[in-house]
Structure 1
Amino acid sequence: MTEPEHRVVVEGSRIITPRLVLRPWTVDDAEAALRVYGAENVAQWLAPAMERVADTAAMRTVLEHWVTSAGALETPTGRWAIELRDGGSVVGGVVLLPLPPDRRDLEIGWQLAPDAWGQGLAAEAGHAVAHYAFESGVEELFAVVRPRNERGAATARRVGMEWVGETDKYYGLRLQVFRLRPGDLDVPALRPEQRPAV
């Protein structure tokens, strides 16, 4: 019997998918994390929430902060390293955190090292964290994407998120907003030829 395409297993602080293990960051992940958060073509979409990390020492400082502040986060929020099950390489990060300014909406976000792009890993990680959030009782999740970040918008759609408009509510920026509710998760998207005529 084959595993379902969207199989997600939660084991303690780890979330496991067919290709990935999402696990808490450690300071020892600094070099791998720098390939993500030190890459200009990743960091350009994160500011002002997070600036580009300049070097391994700075990355270690960021990771130390993430590790020490993890205990203050309420379930299901968190930050996870995205690790490949095959080989154990850390290729990115995924977060589920309250959005500023009022911290009532939960944001799901993903970042991958550029050499890991194009394999569907960000969507798989986002999908897994969405499952975890909904199983914890969350009723909706949001992703906010800069208008020119076509890759980020495409990933949100692959996770199953629906575009709901633009806002300048978050981070003081004009952002595209995508929303996901439990009933929309794992619903296959219709290809253009399958959509009903209007």
Structure 2
Amino acid sequence: MAEILRTERLVIREWADDDAAAALAVYGRAEVARWLSPAVDRVMGEEAMRAQLRHWAEATREGQGGLGHWAVALRETGAVVGGASLHLLPVEEQDVEIGWQLAPEHWGKGYAVEAGRHLVERAFGLDIDEVFALVRPNNARGEATARRLGMTWVGETDKYYGLRLNVFRIRPSDAPIRLHRPPG
């Protein structure tokens, strides 16, 4: 499993078949699935989850360099607590969306913001000039996470999935994200 990013408390890495049970504990939960993008259905069963992980891993390998779907694991234990992604949105595949999903027992710990900040910085390092988050109406946690990432609300749209969604955006000039990196 290749590691994509390492934060203070998290490792963002490729999905593996062995992650199916942990991923199901995220994507199979009704309280998570209700907010998922229509591109990600609630997964029912470990085999279906394993198939989804394989699909994401393949799409990440074959997709546009630097974008993909990844596992979010605790750095200290390696336990998978959720997933995160940078992926092209379906219309004209020009806009890049950031996504994050965590198991409910890990909500409120700042993991989504921590992973999100590093993924936004990764996107900017790939010369992506803006990153979007699409949040379903009434998803207060999703909106709060987008705002904590420094994203601003730019309106509502049904452009991407035929659903009314709130659109948040961040550009490099907006970013309060300036992670400390070692020189070189």
Asked if these proteins are the same fold (TM beyond 0.5), I'd say yes
Match of 1:95 among 79, 85, 88: 85
Aligned to 2:182: none
* TM-score of the superposed pair, with normalisation by structure 2: 0.92
Query: Which is worse superposed, 125-134 or 178-187?
Result: 178-187
Partner of 2:36: 46
* Residue 100 (structure 2) pairs with residue 110 (structure 1): yes
- The equivalent residue for 1:5 is none
Count, aligned residues: 177
Match of 2:57 in 1: 67
Choose which of 126, 136, 146 in structure 2 pairs with 1:146.
136
Q: What do you get for the CA RMSD once the two structures are aligned? A: 1.4
In structure 2, stretches of 5+ residues that fail to align are 179-184
Q: Counterpart of 1:33?
A: 23
CA displacement at 1:47 relative to structure 2: 4.6
Q: Which residue type is aligned with residue 50 of structure 2?
A: R
2:118 is aligned to: 128
Q: Which runs of 5+ in 1 are unaligned?
A: 1-11, 189-198
Note the alpha carbon deviations across 1:133-185, whole angstroms, 9 max, x for none.
11111111000001111110000011111111111111001110000111222
**What is the CA distance between 1:100 and its match in structure 2?**
1.3
> TM-score, structure 1 length as denominator?
0.85
Which residue among 20, 35, 43 is the counterpart of 2:10? 20
Largest Rg, 1 or 2: 1
Change (3 A) 1:18 1:88: same
